[in-house]
Structure 1
């Protein structure tokens, strides 16, 4: 930090009237990774006047790793840059290869994908809500257990494959999912809404300018949800109603997470009711090759739009595979919403603003 703004301590402290630059990070206690938030603060009761997110402290190199692996191996890595959206990220890559090859995915696999996406979304939202409502951790564990049972993986599911899913879900699994969903009581989560109202306001214009999507964007009036606006086949038969608010403050963001958790429970229940029988994958050749060309696919991940731009030269490995990750865009919006926030309110504002650092560094 530079330039002291006070002399003395406690009641005897005296404000000198100069700004102070504070670096939050690059090590942050709530993130599995490092990003740095540079704040300029001013005043006796310090208020943030400028905020600059500084990213790239840990470059994972995921996109370059994709280019030296065949498409089946890519799927084992595609879930790691955002470990709270693992299934959705796998799906985005699988969709890109399937569209390039013109592959028809079995109907049961399409419905299971939608179901698992909603379970993944519900699980992620419970994680983001846990600092504000500790009881959310128990709900997350209930959903995590059925995801683990289906895929065999607790964090990195690796359950999608090109042409569907790796295998069908175990016998009796759908009944256990129904039970797990019945235990998630979103209304019982005790959140002190009075501490969040009016803090960290992100305007709709600023959200659009920074490309903010997902619940953070919808809390600021950005009415965009790929489950409705560019739905996968199963979602076309589901009643997806995006939760959109206009306040753009910390409370609106938390309420969006809560309402979307309720909707994910409803959508997952509908998927269970509509789940058809049949195969969950197609027979693949020994080496999967995408034809020469390019394609862009996207899915509605828990934090927003997760996109994949795949370019192929007709080989069994991608020539280029670029990621559009929601956290990378969303974190830039901190520069727009933090100015005017008191430093003592910073924990509540950052607690309402969910990002995953691996999704930023990718």
Structure 2
């Protein structure tokens, strides 16, 4: 197992004209600067890590963002608020339903209609959001195994994720960028027969999760590569503002579905798994992966309860038209508002400023969970080996559309 070696941060080695770049002339004789990414598979194709190494040991890491430029916030300040949903999709593009849910809740809260959304609509929102949470975690778990040499689990979770994408495509007409959860409601009710197909998928998935535990999470090689690596103590996680499975992997039971109780989550029974150092230290790479796998199991439990409601007390009686609550042109009163939700990767928050005269926000600021989660990378990478750095990067599960927005 890897064990971090203590290194002190040496700001005098930074280039004076470019504060984030190391001046190679000031390094010691045994140190060198190497670049990992942006083309490296584990850096998602757009992140460059400037790594100072002493042999195989990482002395320091400087993440360089950029190279993507989604420009979400500027789009949101030039488009009517109920027309921003397609841009929201493109931040965390593997968890688009969850992002839509957060944004729609924010606008509905500004309009004062948050409590007027029909119950069936709320349960459908939670249903599709939890399906998308599973799909997002499958990408995180599968590609993480691939990063450190496990190929078969990647094929398995991509196979099962494909079933989810087909269900969501059936609902919305789109494969990944859905534009389905609208301000005031939904694009459309569930297709006829969706509940039965979704139940069939859940029954298929349950035994597959047992196999995933056996083949990846409890695999001896996987444990040796991830246990005691990239340890994030709880206090450090809080100070850096990391959220989601990373924070829960460090032992803090913080989940906004429970803490804020938004939508119909207070009516649903589910647990919040936290890391406890089963294989190494609390907050290591293994704990973060284990939390994601356990959250998939809890999402299955949530989906089952949603399906029970949607096929029972909340059966469809008529099609719901969001225009019943929201006019074509909306004008929230002048206010500042921040709303947050539990995305697959952590806290996604939106800050709105409106002037009461226009349907376009004066200011729309997105608090991307991937951006905050990535910020902790230099603090938890020093002293490990270069191969461990790849394991640490993969365990953070960031998506660059949300980082470079």
CA contact (8 A) 2:244 2:347 kept: yes
Corresponding residue for residue 303 of structure 2? 268
- Out of 174, 177, 188, which is 2:211 matched to? 188
Corresponding residue for residue 375 of structure 2? 332
- Quote how far apart the aligned CAs of 1:30 are: 4.4
CA contact (8 A) 1:126 1:136 kept: yes
After the TM superposition, which of the residue ranges 107-116 and 239-248 deviates more from structure 2?
A: 239-248
Corresponding residue for residue 133 of structure 2? 121
Corresponding residue for residue 138 of structure 1? 159
Q: Please give the alpha-carbon distance, in whole angstroms, between the structure 1 residues aligned to 2:45 and 2:81.
A: 27
Corresponding residue for residue 86 of structure 2? 76
- Quote how far apart the aligned CAs of 1:356 are: 0.2
Deviation string, structure 1 residues 225-255 (Cα, Å, up to 9, x no partner):
0010001131011123211114111111110
Unaligned residue ranges in structure 1 (runs of 5+): 5-15
CA contact (8 A) 2:38 2:44 kept: no
Shift of the 59–147 alpha-carbon distance from structure 1 to 2, 3 Å rule, reads same
> What is the correspondence of 1:103-182 to structure 2 with a 5 Å cutoff?
103=113, 104-131=116-143, 132=145, 133-134=153-154, 135-182=156-203
> What is the correspondence of 1:87-106 to structure 2 with a 5 Å cutoff?
87-103=97-113, 104-106=116-118
> What is the correspondence of 1:205-354 to structure 2 with a 5 Å cutoff?
205-246=235-276, 247-275=282-310, 276-278=314-316, 280-282=320-322, 283=324, 284-314=326-356, 315-354=358-397
- 1:57 matched to 2:57? The reply is no
CA contact (8 A) 2:185 2:321 kept: yes
| SS of residue matched to 1:295 | strand
Shift of the 244–170 alpha-carbon distance from structure 1 to 2, 3 Å rule, reads same
CA contact (8 A) 1:32 1:358 kept: no
- Quote how far apart the aligned CAs of 1:98 are: 0.6
| SS of residue matched to 1:156 | coil
Q: Please give the alpha-carbon distance, in whole angstroms, between the structure 1 residues aligned to 2:89 and 2:44.
A: 15
- Quote how far apart the aligned CAs of 1:72 are: 2.3
Q: Please give the alpha-carbon distance, in whole angstroms, between the structure 1 residues aligned to 2:169 and 2:24.
A: 51
| SS of residue matched to 1:213 | coil
- 1:200 matched to 2:230? The reply is yes
Deviation string, structure 1 residues 109-156 (Cα, Å, up to 9, x no partner):
111111111111001001111131221111111111111111111010
- Quote how far apart the aligned CAs of 1:17 are: 5.4
Q: Please give the alpha-carbon distance, in whole angstroms, between the structure 1 residues aligned to 2:43 and 2:362.
A: 32
- Quote how far apart the aligned CAs of 1:339 are: 1.1
Q: Please give the alpha-carbon distance, in whole angstroms, between the structure 2 residues aligned to 1:264 and 1:329.
A: 24
| SS of residue matched to 1:188 | helix
| SS of residue matched to 2:84 | helix
**Residues matched between the structures, number:** 349
TM-score by length of 1: 0.91
Q: Please give the alpha-carbon distance, in whole angstroms, between the structure 1 residues aligned to 2:44 and 2:285.
A: 22
